[in-house]
Amino acid sequence: MSNLCKNRTVIITGAGGGLGRAHALAFSAEGARVIVNDINEMAAQTVVEQICDNGGTAKASNFDITNYQACTDAIQDAVVTYGGLHIVVNNAGINRDRMFASMTEDDWDAVIAVHLKGHFCLSSNAVRYWRSQSKAGRTVSGRIINTTSGAGLQGSVGQSNYAAAKAGIVALTLNQAAELARYDVTANAITPAARTGMTKAVAVMAERMKKPDDNRFDYWSADNVSPLLVWLGSEYSAHITGKVFEAEGGKISIADGWRSTEGVDKGDRWQPGEIANVMDQLLAKENPAQPVYGTEWP
């Protein structure tokens, strides 16, 4: 066991399996006290037992991440149990995949609630705690680590609800970083590419990401993503905020965000009939975005 996150307390949502479980084990291995949140209490307890068997400290919690008061109580419980809170990892998520023309209101609401509201409720309460500590003159070293997706960066066919929620999380992260630096709180987002329960449900992804039969590097293992989150949760990352990181296999990169281009300026109001020529000029100088996920599939 190392000490990168020694004496730091982290809440990880959706940590009963998949990426969240990998994050919980990785944080514990670096000395963190881990609150394992999952809607499946038995799954969360199993992860806690594994952490404790390995000599770590952990507690299971099945609070509803979309319920603001439940998140308030979860923050208070962390402070009472471990004397403070340092890191929030917003990881929990669900899928309700449909083509946009067939998507129902329930499909939309469920995904937006778990992903976007879930990120808000827990982070909001954590920030209120950190702000109170800062105003009281106490040292704060707060970390918010949000989970977005390539679907949120460039879209994904059949996942308009999921893509919209994940795009919203990116914007939320940028705002959090800009507003919370005064309290010594950082906010970053991670775009993980790994084999999880959600990817296994999509045939083409399940085949692409399956575990190798031999001893080759398991490129799509969730364990490959977690070290980046552990470092971002440590005290050593205080200078990193407002970034969106992509983690896949052994590769770490930064997602390059939206930027304004040079544009074409007439110096006066454009007439509708003039736009076609302007559009040709704009598109000729454009750096095309990555394709929407699914448009290149057979």
Pairing of strands 185-193, 142-147: parallel
pLDDT for position 81:
97
Q: Tell me, yes or no, whether 275 lies in a domain.
A: no
Active site residue 234: no
Q: In the 8-state DSSP scheme, what is residue 44? A: H
User: For residue 220, what pLDDT band results from cuts at 50, 70 and 90?
Assistant: confident
Residues 269-290 have pLDDT tens digits of 999 999 999 999 999 998 888 8
N- to C-terminal Cα distance for the chain?
46
Q: Tell me, yes or no, whether 168 lies in a domain.
A: yes
In whole angstroms, what is the distance from residue 274 CA to residue 171 CA? 33
Residues 110-145 have pLDDT tens digits of 999 999 999 999 999 999 999 999 999 999 999 999
Choosing from 61, 123, 141, 149, which is the catalytic residue?
Answer: 149
Choosing from 82, 129, 162, 293, which is the catalytic residue?
Answer: 162
Q: Is the dihedral of CA 55, 60, 66, 70 positive or negative?
A: negative
Q: Who wins on pLDDT, 214 or 268?
A: 268
Q: Tell me, yes or no, whether 287 lies in a domain.
A: no
Residue 196 scores a pLDDT above 80: no
Q: Who wins on pLDDT, 283 or 297?
A: 283
Choosing from 166, 237, 243, 293, which is the catalytic residue?
Answer: 166
Active site residue 266: no
Residues 85-113 have pLDDT tens digits of 999 999 999 999 999 999 999 999 999 99
Nearest CA to 8 out of 30, 37, 24, 25 is that of: 30
CA distances from 29 to 5, 26, 52, 222, 235 (A): 9, 5, 11, 15, 16
pLDDT for position 226:
96
In whole angstroms, what is the distance from residue 236 CA to residue 114 CA? 30
- Name the residue range of residue 14's domain: 9-254
Q: Tell me, yes or no, whether 246 lies in a domain.
A: yes
Q: Tell me, yes or no, whether 261 lies in a domain.
A: no
Active site residue 166: yes
Residue 62 is part of a domain; what is its CATH number? 3.40.50.720
pLDDT for position 205:
66
Q: Tell me, yes or no, whether 296 lies in a domain.
A: no
CB of 91 closer than 8 Å to CB of 35? no
**Percent with pLDDT over 70 in the chain:** 95
Q: Tell me, yes or no, whether 278 lies in a domain.
A: no
| Domain total in the chain | 1
**Which of 32-46, 193-207, 244-258, 277-291 is least confident?**
193-207
Residue 82 scores a pLDDT above 60: yes
User: For residue 298, what pLDDT band results from cuts at 50, 70 and 90?
Assistant: very low
Q: Tell me, yes or no, whether 90 lies in a domain.
A: yes
